[in-house]
Amino acid sequence: MSTALPTRPCPEGYGPTLVAHAFIGGEWREQGSGGVFERRNPSNRADLVAVAPLCGAADVAQACAAARRAWPSWAATPAPRRGAIVGRLAELLRQRKETLARFVTREIGKPLREARGSVQEAIDTAEFFQSEGRRLYGQTVPSELPLKQLYTFRRPLGVVGAISAGNFPIAVPSWKLVPALLCGNTAVWKASDDTPGIATLFARLWEEAGLPPGVLNLVHGAGKGGAGEALVDAVRTGGVDKISFTGSTEVGRHIGEVSGRALQVPSLELGGKNPLVVMADANLDAAVEGALWASFGTGGQRCTSAGNIVLDRPIAAEFRRRFVAAARALKVGDPSRDETVFYGPMMNERFLKGWLAQREVGLAEGATLALDGSRLAPDSGWFVGPRIFDGVRIDMRIAQEECFGPTVNLVEVDGFDEALRVANGTPYGLSSAVYTRNAQWMLRFQTDIRAGMCSINNSTTGAEAHLPFGGNGWSGNGTRESGIWVLDAYTRWQAVNVDLSDSLQLAQIDTAAEGAKRGLDWAALAPKG
Ligand code: UN1
């Protein structure tokens, strides 16, 4: 028997208000220790999308304790059975894809086609890891000694604390939770306070898929000073064995420090200032289209969005002309009302303020505005037009600092060597792209760019669910999400040896002694006194 999701009528009406819940030890909670908070539609602030429990340290402690209690029996559940639950999750996500996508559009203002794509990414992730439950391969390794066997096994870590951002509110949590749980860990998930509704729906689907109580726990609320900070504090107190975080470099550094002291390895997926290089020989139509999508898709609110467009001088003027014209023509608006908008509103007020402030920073540094995006229809929602800075040098702050929002810089260079130097000229290293037809440049770019991800003749955005995702430098600590590579983030290798010789065989010591008996008489070389 299925029960209806709890909702309340929303007075101004895009749809009913979802009563979002925390999920602790298999129990759904409407109230957190701090009461409740609201999530409003960023396109139309009158639309109350969800009310959610405001969780604090007490809720997080209970969630960690519930995850700890659930861990032994979940870890002992055969991996193929854990995989079967992940498979059912994939099926449920597929059944509910359209409803979930529409909710994503309403909760964060992502255009529907993108929202569908991001739900699909969660489906792809769950499908990939369903079958991983039948692998989770270890190795058999030859021994130095007779009648002895060596094996390796992947062992789960324990309780994983997952902290996710709001811009991919179902895809990125699935990148963390699906492999973490599949590998036999339990989890406490602190969802973004921009997306308590979709997080609740995702957790409901896990429960419906048959996940035992306490294996996944969900808390809502703020990062700093709230549930997120409490979850990071749980590293110190032994409440969690690992943090997996997607968000800012500043917070990532803090998590890295706290984790380091506890000898834990967090997964840190942080910011980016991603370069997109257009060389003189590029297919300019493709480059303009790719740059437009990389810069302004999702309103530039992806960690993989292009930050600096690096233009080889011979095509710079023509690229600028076409790119600025195309950006000027982009349709911005409420994606719940109009499916044809290119991007919707800013997802939260913090991103809006950061984007507004960036304009003055760029102008003060001497950059010019090739397109002066400004705030649109300020009363109804957080809409802004695309901004393009021209005459940018890579050492300017606007070229160095990540800015979540529809803004991109044009940086002119002379030739490939300078393009590569400029592309590598920020402390970040998440994604990158080059448009060229020159095979040697393609090869040099992919070898020498200091980025975890590199596109040749494609956008900086658009990771696939089975390729490693992650960055270098300020973009992360080298851990990767997705595909087989993420398994190393949620397991530790255990080496096992089985000795069937009925005697104490000593590795290294015995073999050295045997070798000495049969070898040359090196002592004969010693000078005779
Ligand atoms: C993010 O913005 O944190 O590759 C993730 C992409 C998306 C994921 C972005 N699939 O652009």
Distance 175 CA to ligand 1 centre (A): 11
φ and ψ of 493, to 5 deg: -75, 135
How many C-beta neighbours within 10 Å does residue 405 have?
Answer: 26
For 196-244, the pLDDT digits (tens) are: 999 999 999 999 999 999 999 999 999 999 999 999 999 999 999 999 9
Evaluate: CB of 274 within 6 angstroms of ligand 1. no
Q: What is the pLDDT of residue 1?
A: 44
Considering the segment(s) 274-473 as one domain, its CATH architecture is 3-Layer(aba) Sandwich (3.40)
Q: What is the pLDDT of residue 516?
A: 61
Separation CA 218–CA 258 (nearest Å): 22
Atom of ligand 1 nearest to the CA of 269: 3
303 catalytic residue (yes or no): yes
The Å distance, Cα 464 to ligand 1 centre, comes to 9
CA 129 to chain centre: 17
Residue type at position 86: V
Residue 150 pLDDT? 98
Secondary structure of 251-274 as H, E, C letters: HHHHHHHHHHHCCCCCEEECCCCE
pLDDT reading at 378 higher than 70: no
Q: Which of 132, 229, 269, 412 is catalytic?
A: 269
The verdict on whether 55 is a catalytic residue reads: no
Say how far apart CA 162 and CA 199 lie, in whole Å.
12
If one residue of 120, 124, 168 were mutated to test the ligand 1 pocket, choosing by the most ligand atoms within 8 A of its CB, it would be 168
Ligand 1 in reach of 304 Cβ (< 6 A): yes
Confidence of residue 424 (pLDDT cuts 50, 70, 90): very high
The edge-to-edge listing of strands for the beta sheet with 368-371 is 368-371, 387-390, 407-413, 306-312, 274-278, 433-435, 455-456
Residue type, 83: G
Residues 6+ apart with CB under 8 A from 69: 25, 214
Percentage, residues of the chain above pLDDT 70 = 97
Classified as helix, coil or strand, 346 is coil
- Catalytically annotated residue among 55, 303, 403, 454: 303
Cβ count near 426 (within 10 Å): 24
Pairing of strands 22-24, 17-19: unpaired
**Looking up tokens 């010019």, which residue turns up?**
368
Q: What is the pLDDT of residue 509?
A: 75
| Mean pLDDT value of segment 475-489 | 97
* Nearest-angstrom CA–CA distance, 364 and 418: 25
Q: What residue spans of 329-379 are helical by DSSP H? A: 349-364
Q: Is 117 in the pocket of ligand 1 (CB under 6 A)?
A: no
What was the pLDDT predicted at 520?
Answer: 76
Q: How far is the CA of 9 from the centre of ligand 1 (A)?
A: 33
How far is Cα 231 from Cα 511, in angstroms, rounded to an integer? 49
- In contact, 179 and 486? CB cutoff 8 Å: yes
**Segment 448-468 mean pLDDT:** 96
Answer whether 455 contacts ligand 1 (Cβ < 6 A).
no
Residues ≥6 apart with Cβ < 8 Å to 166 = 108, 192, 193, 194, 195, 347, 348
CATH, domain 56-270+482-491, list 1.10.1530.10, 3.30.1490.20, 3.30.2320.50, 3.40.605.10? 3.40.605.10
Distance CA 456, CA 168 (A): 24
Mean pLDDT for the stretch of residues 361-381: 91
Q: 326-337, pLDDT tens digit by residue?
A: 999 999 999 999
- What average pLDDT does the chain have? 95
Q: Taking the model in full, what pTM does it have?
A: 0.95
Domain ranges of the chain: 56-270+482-491, 274-473
DSSP 182-249: HTT-EEEEE--TT-HHHHHHHHHHHHHTTPPTTSEEEE-S-STTSHHHHHHHHHHHTS-SEEEEES-H
3-state secondary structure of 357: helix
Strands 387-390, 455-456: pairing kind: unpaired
Residue 13 — pLDDT band, cuts 50, 70, 90? Answer: low
- Round to whole Å and give the CA distance between 104 and 304: 19
CA 462–ligand 1 middle distance (angstroms): 6
User: Which pLDDT band holds residue 12 (cuts at 50, 70, 90)?
Assistant: low
CA angle 28, 29, 30 (to 5 degrees): 130
Count the neighbouring beta carbons within 10 Å of the beta carbon of residue 7: 12
Query: Per the structure block, which two tokens stand in for 100?
Result: 């979930």
CB of 462 sitting under 6 A from ligand 1? yes
